[in-house]
Structure formats: C-alpha cells, structure tokens
Amino acid sequence: MGLSPVLSPTTLYFQQFYLECLSHASYLIGDTSTGKAVVVDPQRDISEYLAEAEANGLTIGHVLETHFHADFLSGHLELAAATGATIGYGRAAEGRPEFPITTYAQGDTIQLGEVVLEILETPGHTPESISIVVRPNGMDSSPFGVLTGDTLFIGDVGRPDLLASIGVTADELARHLYHSLREKLLTLPDTTKVFPAHGAGSACGKNLSTETSSTIGEQRVSNYALAPMSENEFVETVTEGQSVAPLYFLYAATMNQKSRELLDEDTHVTKLTMNEALAHQSSGAVVIDARTDTEFAQGHLAGSVNIGLGGRFAEFAGEVMVAGTPIVLVVPAGHESEAKIRLARIGFDNVVGVLDDPTRAFVENPQHVETASRLSAAELMTRTGTVKDLVLIDVRNPGEVSLGTIKGSLAISLPSLLNRIPELDPTKPTVVFCAGGYRSSIARSLLRSHGFKDVSDMVGGFTAWNAHLHMQSASPAAEPAIDADTVAANKDAFIFDVRELHEWQSGHVENSIHMPMGDVVSRISELPNDRQIVCICRSGNRSGRVTSYLRQQGIDCVNLTGGAQQWLSAGHRLINHVGNDGVVI
C-alpha cells in the first residue's frame, strides 16, 4: 500500500498503491456520493483494488492506462473481467490493442460525480501517454492532483528510448516530451500534487526519487529535466546516461496490447521431486533459486540461477532469461505462491512447478548439487595480482560505473549479460561484481549455467572493494590491542567480528556482532558510543586494519590480539551458527 487514503471535505476518495518490488504506483479514485470509481495503471493481481473498493462502497467502472507499460503486465483485463469496467487509453492507442478500449483526447473528462477526471495528452515516454488531472469539485475547481504515468516522475522524467515505442525514435519522443511537460503539466497550479507511476529503482527513468508524490511547484524547482533549457538541450539531457532496458520490456509492452490469459491469484503451484525438476531442466526449463545468495552459495542445484526473493525478483528474472521459457522454482518454504505471482506480474506465467523440500532433496542427491565461489574484496585483490588472464566484469548500470570501477574490468550491465555471453571466454577465470552483491550472485550463477567453469562473485560488491582500499591504507601495527581474558571479563563489551560469513558461521564469540570487513564503512553508525568496542577477526590482522580505520574516524575501538585463534587458545568458547561448539577456519 502507498499513501494513506484521501477523504477530502468534498466527495473525493483517493488511494495510492505502491508495489516496492517493481517500484510501481497505481491508484483507486472514487466519488463517495455516487460510489463511482476508476483504477489507474493497475498491477496484474487485482485483489487489493477489489477489497479496497468494496470496503469503501465504491464500484469500479473504468480502468485507465496512462500508456502501454513495458515494465510490468497490467491488470486491466483482470479488472475488466471482475467488474465489467471499460478500459481506457489515450487517443494515440486507437487500433493497437486486441481488446475493446475507449480512447480519450486532450480535454476529455470522466465524471464520477462531483469528482471529475480531466485527460491531458502528454506524449513523450510513449506516443499514447496521457496524464489525468483530478478535480474534486467539478471542472472549475482547482486540481487536487495529477497522475502523470511515466511522463513526469519525482526528480526525473520518463525515458524516451524504450523498445515499447517501436517505429518512433528517441529523438522524436524526447521532443514530444519537452512540449508535454512545459505546455501541459507545468501549466497546472504549483499546489497540484504529482502522482507518478513509478519511484526509485524503476528502469523507466534514471534519477527517480524515493518519494512517491510531490507537487508541480516542488518539481518545477528541483527536477533537473524541468530546468530552463532549449528543446535541443533537453533532448540531449534526458537521452544521455540511460541504463540498458531489461530484456523483458519488449515482451511486456507487447503482451499489454494482447488479449491474453487472465491471472488466477489462487492457482496452486505444483510440487516437484528432484527427478521431475531435473527432467524439466534437461528439457529447457530454467531453474530459478529464490533463496538468499548465502544459502545459494552453500548448495544449489547445478545449473540454477540465483535471484533472491528479497530483492527485485521478477525484474531481474526478466533480465536474465527469455520470456516464455519454462521455470522451475526453488524457494523458501511458504513462499511458493508469492514467487509465482511476482513472476506473473511481468508476464512470466510458465512456472511448471517448485522443488519440494529443497534441503532434503539436496542432501539426498549430492551428485546434482554444487556450491558457489564467492570472494571477499581482499581475496579478489590478491587474485588480480596473481591469477593469469583473470576477467573482471562489472554488472552495474552505466551511471554507476561512471562514478568508479575496478581497473581493468569490463562493464557489462546485468540486463546486457545474457546477450553478450558469446563475447566472453568460458575457459578463463572470471569474477563478477556489482554494488553490494545481489546482482553479482545472479550474474555468477547465470554464467555458471552457461558453462563457465571458474566463475566467482565478490561479496559486498564495489562497496566492499572501496572499504577494503580504506582498510589497506591503515596499518594495524600501532593500534591499541586487548587480550582475550580482559575482553571475556568485560560483559558489557561490544564485540564485532569482521570475518566473512563462512568463517563467522564456523565459530564466533557468543553475543558478538557479525560485520564483514567490506561492510564496516556503510554500517559504521551501528557502533555504540557508550560501550567498549572490540574488533575481532581470525588472527588480528584484518581487525587491526579495521581498528585503525575506525580510530581515524574518531571511534574508540581496540583490536583483539590474536583474534579468534587466541580467544580459543585462551580457553574461551566459540559457537557456530547453530549454537554448538565452534572452530576457527
């Protein structure tokens, strides 16, 4: 759910729904005096809209699409089937969909009662794009807000270069966008609230804010694309630096114009044995393992691709596999339906089943299980100087890479990787990295599934690499140290362990905090200022460097002499990740 419902002194009902995993905003707008309502830019699973409308005495009579979406499969067909609502688009959409639509031109209105919706034709992101002005007390009333679709975002504008606009160049659309913004949207009062279709994380723009609403006045002064500039300057500004469009965008934009199958939100997900999963895989199915990157690294079905359910699951699935490919899921228990629905939101409906009890299946079939190679920043730094023909691949977006990367690495953004695999040599040792480790785990597993023998990813990504460079510049020799017995006697000490996860899981000081060396810079705020801070690693070297760095930042930290090895040899207990006696590895 997005913003809280608006119940104005008039009869306006207004609700924003926000889907974090796709950075997608949709809207329910109604008139409480008549009960008439519309839904704008709906997601494919529509149960929330139906429940919200029923709870507020509203009847959905219209489904309005601000344009043919490319980043998700819209729920217009599902809503029309469930409610009998008509489906509406801008005038330039006439004749394109395979299903009946109503089209709206500049200045057309939809009367819900006192609440009136006014249509603005705002081409630019796509030719058929519209914006919808919400007037709470008839056409003469001041606008409450404007739903801008992908024309105007908070902090950005819609990109004009997506494949959804086949037959129209990015230059042409950018020029349309320039005029739509300045001659339509910026003529609205500064107090008019702006409600876009997307927020930060969406590939439909390059500089989207984490805010999901604003005002015309705020955007007039803060949005880079609305600054005074010529049409030519605008075209150059908005087309420069855009990320590569995800692979599935053309598919979704096409499917949003087709009369396709409806989503059944209650559909059961078939459970598969290991042999059934292997049979589907050998017949061309992609196995998507939606567990965390750590769980995946510890053991997974050979040839599977890791896309963690905790991130932008569907979007990244759409970046690394071809639409229509059969899918076998490996998911945390209880999340089978969630994974299937999230894939359905981008039109990936061909889920043939989910591996039943994957932990048991892996234990009983070790011949089909492999682990993932993951390197710390320190380990990668060593390899760059010792491993011949090492290939480094930065899978971040161009805008991220432009701010800095590892010397000698190839910039191949994740959405481009699948199509560029033929350019790479699967026999060469390869390491992939991103900003924090999520995308690189996807990339590593994708390359591995395509025959790369020696491929690793860097834990913590480029953030960890930069942090390691900071640590390397600090010498641990002169930093204040403390012995194990003194630490053990201080029950109030804050002990944090900077080793990698597999080291921590094998054995660590009870009640200590795990903070890998590569995460220290970004997590520095977690360190207390009212307790003794003790840093620990395996032998005292890494923790010494971290201690030196933290003291340079004004944090009173001490290094545990000899690390976990000394702690154990002094007779103090280490525990493993399940609470049993631990060891130092």
Give the residue numbers annotated as catalytic, written as ranges: 537
Query: Measuring CA to CA, which residue among 214, 212, 232, 234 is closest to residue 222?
Result: 214
CB atoms within 10 A of CB 557: 21
Question: CB of 140 within 8 A of CB of 210?
Answer: no
d(CA 111, CA 132) in angstroms, rounded, equals 13
SS3 474: coil
Structure tokens belonging to residue 267: 């559909």
Q: CA Rg, the chain, in Å? A: 27
Q: CA 109, CA 132: separation in Å to the nearest integer?
A: 9
Q: Are 537 and 543 in contact (CB under 8 A)?
A: yes
Per the CB < 8 A criterion, the answer to whether 577 and 514 are in contact is no
DSSP β-ladder status, 508-509 and 574-575: antiparallel
Chain-centre distance for alpha carbon 430? 25
Cα(443)–Cα(21) distance, integer angstroms = 19
Q: CA-CA distance, 492 to 487, in Å (whole number)?
A: 9
The DSSP code sequence of 286-317 is EEEE-S-HHHHHH-EETT-EE--TTSSHHHHH
Q: Which residue type is seen at 314?
A: A
Q: Which two structure tokens, joined as six digits, stand for 291?
A: 């567990």
> How is the beta sheet containing 305-306 ordered, strand by strand?
271-272, 351-355, 327-330, 286-289, 305-306
Alpha helices in 114-205 (DSSP H): 170-183
Token reading at 530:
């009212």
Q: How far apart are CA 521 and CA 466, in angstroms?
A: 9
109-111 and 102-104: which strand pairing?
unpaired
Give, in degrees to the nearest 5, the angle at Cα 158 between 152 and 159.
160
Tokens 């997608």 belong to 24
Our CA angle for 188, 2, 203, nearest 5°, is 75
Q: Give the H or E element holding residue 575.
A: strand 574-575
DSSP 8-state symbol, 538: S
Q: What is the DSSP letter of 355?
A: E
β-pairing, 494-497 with 513-514? parallel
Phi, psi at residue 145, to the nearest 5°? -165, 175
> Exposed/middle/buried for 79, CB within 10 Å: 0-12, 13-18, 19+?
buried
Are β-strands 481-482 and 557-560 bridged in parallel, bridged antiparallel, or unpaired? parallel
